[in-house]
Amino acid sequence: MTSRPWSESLRGPAGALGTEHAPAYLPIDRAFALVNDYGTGRALLWRGPAPAEANEVATLWRRAAEAPRPHRVAPEEVVEGYGVFTFPYGPISMGVPESGRFDVRTYGERILTLGPVAGFKSRRILGALPGLTPEDALLRVERLAGNFSAAHAAAFLAAVESAAAIEVARTELWTRALAQELERIYNHLHQIARVAEAASQNVGLAQTHALAEEMLRIEGRTFGHRWLFGALAPGAPTRRLDPEGRRWLGRALRELSGRFEVLLELFLGSRTFVDRLQTTGVVSRERAVRWGAVGPVLRATGVAWDDRLRAPSVPYTDLFLELPREDGGDALARILVRAHEVRSSALLLEQLLDRWPGDAMAREAPAPPVGPGRGLGRVESPSGDLVYEVRLTNGRIASVGMRSASHANWPVFAESLRHAVFTDFHFAWESFGLVFAETDA
């Protein structure tokens, strides 16, 4: 079997859909490469070739937004040999209930290399934002990735408020954190349920899936919407949480985390479940750091890095956050990180509800604008670090750049499945928690 650089095979077979849908080449670790914290110059984790200037980053963002669609997330090399062929998985499959394709190089059983092909769901969202008011843009941003809507809305609003130097009511910042932590618990429960499904743990699947549904009902009762669309607003809160609603929320969350503890113990007591996840989809710490992995993927390799701790903003400055970390780098480690984050988010929510600010409290000044009319917003989405860059002109959006956790984690995801077998795919996919909707914005 021989290997050669992937770039040499760009004119290869177009896949099952014919030439018109031939993916264009876009090496994701270059095009989406971004440096953490480039705005303030405090680079904690550099990824890819580091752009010297913020302008250069903006160019990369723009190029990513204008990239031909669909585009391929290229593995480092292409493998040739007797019987080796490319198996296109997707864009429509029930295994991954989103539209995206994976070009699997294989000879029948092992995945030699895996090339995710994103861009099938490009809704041209970011390109359509310029000219809109921030309020109208928010309607589109929160529908960019529905299961991460609170994270996207919070990062976008933080960027807008920083660009326009708008002061934010303290209750609004509290509401944002509350919405994001609720969303985090839902997504972790959903991901654990999907891993249980892949491992044929049917009772575990049903019970965890039921908890995820309970989470959605809690969100629906609290904000009127199961996916938190419209829950967040620029400046001051539109929807106020009354004391009765907060008491109900606290009770419901305590009940839910109690149930989850029971399930977690049962999962970890199940030999078949733990054995199946161990050593599946391994990401080494060295590779995770070098390729710029974020979120639970990075924390599962032993790196305790979380945006809520990196540069904590209100209200995280005032709260105790227990940051879970595992060392295995495999699907089990990622699931354990997620499971423990359900616990730590529940603890955060308890603190948020206990110390809910009165409306009369002082207003919180936002981060100062990075440049003239330009602001950055950054939050820890359920799958990891999410950055928005917003430029404003006359109170309207001039441009929006976004780098999501899914952008950052594609390369390590593809890498973690090299030399795995087909059945490992879903364990890696579900434990990574990647969302095509984020990259296809």
Residue ranges that bind another protein, judged by CB under 8 A: 17, 20-21, 69-70, 91-95, 97-99, 119-125, 128, 136, 139-140, 143-147, 149, 190, 203-204, 206-207, 209-210, 212-213, 216-217, 220-221, 224-227, 229-230, 259, 262-263, 266, 269-270, 435, 437, 440
Classified as helix, coil or strand, 186 is helix
CB of 226 to another protein, least distance (A): 6
- Which residue, 262 or 309, has its beta carbon nearer to another protein? 262
CB of 285 to another protein, least distance (A): 29
- Which residue, 267 or 427, has its beta carbon nearer to another protein? 267
Residue 104's DSSP bridge partners are 87, 114
CB of 209 to another protein, least distance (A): 4
Pairing outcome for strands 71-73 and 24-26: parallel
- Which residue, 93 or 423, has its beta carbon nearer to another protein? 93
Pairing outcome for strands 384-393 and 77-80: unpaired
CB of 259 to another protein, least distance (A): 8
- Which residue, 225 or 396, has its beta carbon nearer to another protein? 225
DSSP 271: H
CB of 329 to another protein, least distance (A): 26
- CA-CA distance, 170 to 195, in Å (whole number)? 38
- CA 117 vs. chain centroid, Å, equals 17
- Which residue, 96 or 349, has its beta carbon nearer to another protein? 96
Per the listing, tokens 């963002």 go with 61
- Which residue, 142 or 307, has its beta carbon nearer to another protein? 142
Residue 2's DSSP bridge partners are 80
Per the listing, tokens 């940051």 go with 323
Q: What is the largest CA-CA distance in the chain?
A: 72
Among 34, 33, 32, 14, smallest CA distance to 24 is for 14
Residue 24's DSSP bridge partners are 71
CB of 138 to another protein, least distance (A): 9
